[in-house]
């Protein structure tokens, strides 16, 4: 183990690999800043530029783009309520509220710190536990994946705000939108209205941009643009109290992110949603979540970065992509004549351990880049909103167009923006709708496969112990708060009136 780590440092610390690692994380940060682009598109676009590189150098750069984009996506989520990455959607809920209160610097700082801690934590586990975790992940078939999706849906309770009915209604709307496209079982088109652009489903990224960015701008125009946020530089720095409050959320988010990231196809978006949902249950300040609590930034940011690293467990050890970006990276391995799988660690130790150690180096670079820059990024909020809103709209629509290079994406953003405006106007929660849209396709796929395995009998779930444990957790997460409220509360003895008085 130690010899492999030393070999990795010898490989990653060469001047050439250090240079391209820096280029990768810097490019990833910029890509994450641009709404709609995302790490998957960024890696795919820049992949041809690495054809003349050594395989290890190319993969170090491409991986740097991947986890660099996780950092970049947070910046716009916090400052202008425009998630640059799908995994940064949850950060918008509290990060943007912190920015409105003049605490944007603190939100960006804790996002950078949490992301770094989670990345290092997950990297250590990745190095030590990759083979055992890969074997465990092989036990997760359609039945277990179905239970994971149900667990994700159970977190809707956490995102519903004061009205659970509204939360469930919005989640149902998201699940209904997720049914648009090709039927997972029969392959027939559903609700596409003969529009070929809808055959692959309602595009999630465009909906996300419209709801959070365009909808926010439209709502602010209606209520009257707020005055630019003017705070002293010192007030933009994170405080010791905020750091102490973030320790628990960062730890919980890191563990959850790594565990979920090890599952093939789970990605980091689901991890951030579930981490936030857990925080709404266990945090001491859970009543403040959604109103600008530092825990609402620390936990999902830690989870999505831990999951981003953990996505490499199934990618490297099984040859199964952990998410969309690692699927592109899997193609890069093939392009260089490499075959990810159980034998990769033995046949290409220099490449594998050089790549893994580069994660550590790249995250140090990102911390050095992002932590000092957080208060400077926060100064963007001093720009008058008469100038800032057109910039937000321009980047949103251009980012949407760049995804598929057609106007259909732009129209989706516009329609989602109008929907987002009315949702804010009538105080309808957006997060459950987004969660339903994210989980819907994964849930349907797992449900179809589970039904096929059981010849139409879904009670096959009862014969899978892992699935039963996960389902029990889902029930506790969904019904736990209601059950706690039903428990009798004993009055402390000192508060009772003595008998005979």
84 against 181, higher pLDDT: 181
20 with 57: CB under 8 angstroms?
A: yes
268 against 266, higher pLDDT: 268
Give the span between the Cα atoms of 176 and 191, in whole angstroms: 10
- Residue 378, pLDDT above cutoff 70: no
Q: What is the DSSP letter of 186?
A: T
Domain ranges within the chain, ordered by starting residue: 1-482
Region 370-385: what's the mean pLDDT? 66
Give the span between the Cα atoms of 434 and 211, in whole angstroms: 9
Instruction: Give pTM, 2 decimals.
Output: 0.66
Name the packing angle between helices 55-80 and 15-33 (round to 10°).
30
Place of tokens 């050594």: 54
Looking at residue 491, its pLDDT comes to 45
Q: What is the DSSP letter of 85?
A: S
Over the stretch 269-288, which tens digit does the pLDDT of each residue have? Answer: 778 888 888 888 787 877 77
Region 383-412: what's the mean pLDDT? 79
User: Ranked by mean pLDDT, which of 10-24, 234-248, 280-294, 337-351 comes out on top?
Assistant: 10-24
Q: SS3 for 182?
A: strand
Tokens standing for residue 4: 């492999």
- Residue 215, pLDDT above cutoff 80: yes
Beta-strand runs (E) in 134-216: 181-182, 189-190
Tokens standing for residue 268: 């980091």
Q: Write the DSSP assignment of 45-69 as a string of letters.
A: HHGGGGTTS-HHHHHHHHHHHHHHH
Over the stretch 120-138, which tens digit does the pLDDT of each residue have? Answer: 888 888 777 766 765 666 6
Looking at residue 500, its pLDDT comes to 43
Q: What percent of the chain has pLDDT over 70?
A: 81
Let me know the angle formed at the C-alpha of 329 by 184 and 148, rounded to the nearest 5 degrees.
Answer: 40
Lowest mean pLDDT among 93-102, 293-302, 397-406, 489-498: 489-498
Looking at residue 418, its pLDDT comes to 93
- Nearest CA to 99 out of 285, 236, 238 is that of 236
340 against 491, higher pLDDT: 340
- Write the CB contacts of 118 (distance below 8 Å, at least 6 apart in sequence): 250, 253, 254, 257, 258, 301, 302, 303, 305, 306, 309
Name the packing angle between helices 55-80 and 295-310 (round to 10°).
160
- Nearest CA to 307 out of 58, 77, 85 is that of 85
Give the span between the Cα atoms of 471 and 465, in whole angstroms: 10
Looking at residue 342, its pLDDT comes to 63
| pLDDT band for position 377 (cuts 50, 70, 90) | low
323 with 265: CB under 8 angstroms?
A: yes
Q: What is the mean pLDDT of the chain?
A: 78
Other beta carbons within 10 angstroms of residue 405's beta carbon come to: 7
Over the stretch 454-485, which tens digit does the pLDDT of each residue have? Answer: 888 888 888 888 888 888 877 876 775 565 55
- Residue 36, pLDDT above cutoff 60: no
Give the span between the Cα atoms of 89 and 272, in whole angstroms: 9
Looking at residue 190, its pLDDT comes to 87
- Write the CB contacts of 132 (distance below 8 Å, at least 6 apart in sequence): none
Tokens standing for residue 40: 């998957």
Tokens standing for residue 143: 């039945």
Over the stretch 144-171, which tens digit does the pLDDT of each residue have? Answer: 878 878 877 776 665 565 677 887 888 8
Q: What percent of the chain has pLDDT over 90?
A: 2
Looking at residue 415, its pLDDT comes to 92
Q: SS3 for 189?
A: strand
């Amino acid at each position: 183990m130690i010899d492999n780590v030393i070999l990795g440092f010898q490989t990653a610390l060469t001047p050439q690999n250090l240079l391209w690692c820096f280029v990768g994380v810097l490019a990833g940060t910029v890509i994450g800043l641009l709404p709609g682009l995302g790490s998957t598109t960024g890696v795919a676009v820049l992949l041809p530029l690495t054809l003349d590189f050594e395989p290890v150098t190319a993969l170090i750069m491409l991986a740097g783009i991947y986890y660099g984009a996780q950092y970049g996506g947070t910046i716009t989520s916090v400052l202008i309520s425009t998630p640059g990455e799908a995994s940064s959607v949850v950060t918008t809920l509290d990060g943007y509220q912190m920015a409105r209160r003049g605490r944007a610097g603190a939100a960006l700082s804790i996002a950078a710190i949490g992301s770094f801690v989670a990345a290092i934590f997950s990297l250590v586990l990745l190095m030590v536990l990759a083979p055992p975790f890969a074997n465990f992940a092989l036990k997760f078939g359609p039945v277990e994946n179905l239970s994971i999706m149900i667990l994700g849906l159970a977190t809707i309770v956490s995102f519903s705000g004061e009205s659970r009915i509204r939360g469930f209604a919005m989640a149902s709307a998201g699940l209904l939108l997720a049914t648009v496209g090709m039927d997972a079982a029969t392959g027939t088109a559903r609700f596409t209205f003969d529009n070929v652009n809808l055959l692959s489903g309602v595009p999630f990224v465009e909906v996300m941009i419209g709801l959070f960015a365009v909808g926010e701008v439209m709502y602010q125009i209606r209520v009257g643009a707020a005055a630019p946020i003017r705070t002293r530089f010192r007030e933009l720095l994170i405080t010791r109290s905020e750091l102490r409050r973030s320790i628990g959320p960062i730890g919980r988010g890191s563990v959850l992110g790594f565990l979920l990231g090890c599952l093939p196809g789970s990605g980091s978006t689901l991890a951030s949603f579930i981490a936030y949902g857990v925080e709404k249950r266990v945090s001491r300040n859970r009543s403040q979540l959604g109103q600008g609590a530092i825990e609402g930034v620390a936990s999902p940011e830690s989870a999505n970065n831990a999951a981003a690293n953990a996505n490499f467990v199934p990618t490297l050890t099984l040859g199964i992509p952990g998410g969309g970006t690692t699927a592109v990276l899997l193609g890069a391995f093939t392009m260089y004549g490499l075959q990810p799988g159980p034998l990769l660690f033995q046949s290409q130790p220099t490449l594998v351990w050089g790549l893994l150690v580069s994660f550590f180096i790249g995250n140090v670079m990102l911390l050095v880049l992002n932590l000092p820059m957080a208060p400077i990024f926060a100064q963007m909020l001093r720009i008058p909103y008469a100038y800032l809103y057109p910039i937000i709209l321009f980047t949103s629509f251009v980012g949407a167009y760049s995804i598929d290079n057609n106007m259909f994406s732009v129209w989706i953003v516009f329609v989602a923006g109008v929907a987002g405006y009315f949702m804010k106007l009538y105080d309808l929660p957006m997060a459950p709708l987004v969660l339903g849209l994210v989980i819907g396709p994964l849930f349907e796929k797992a449900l179809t496969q589970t039904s096929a395995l059981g010849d139409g009998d879904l009670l096959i779930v009862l014969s899978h112990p892992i699935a039963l444990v996960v389902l029990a957790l889902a029930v506790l997460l969904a019904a736990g708060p209601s059950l706690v409220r039903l428990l009798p509360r004993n009055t402390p003895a000192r508060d009772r009136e003595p008998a005979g008085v």
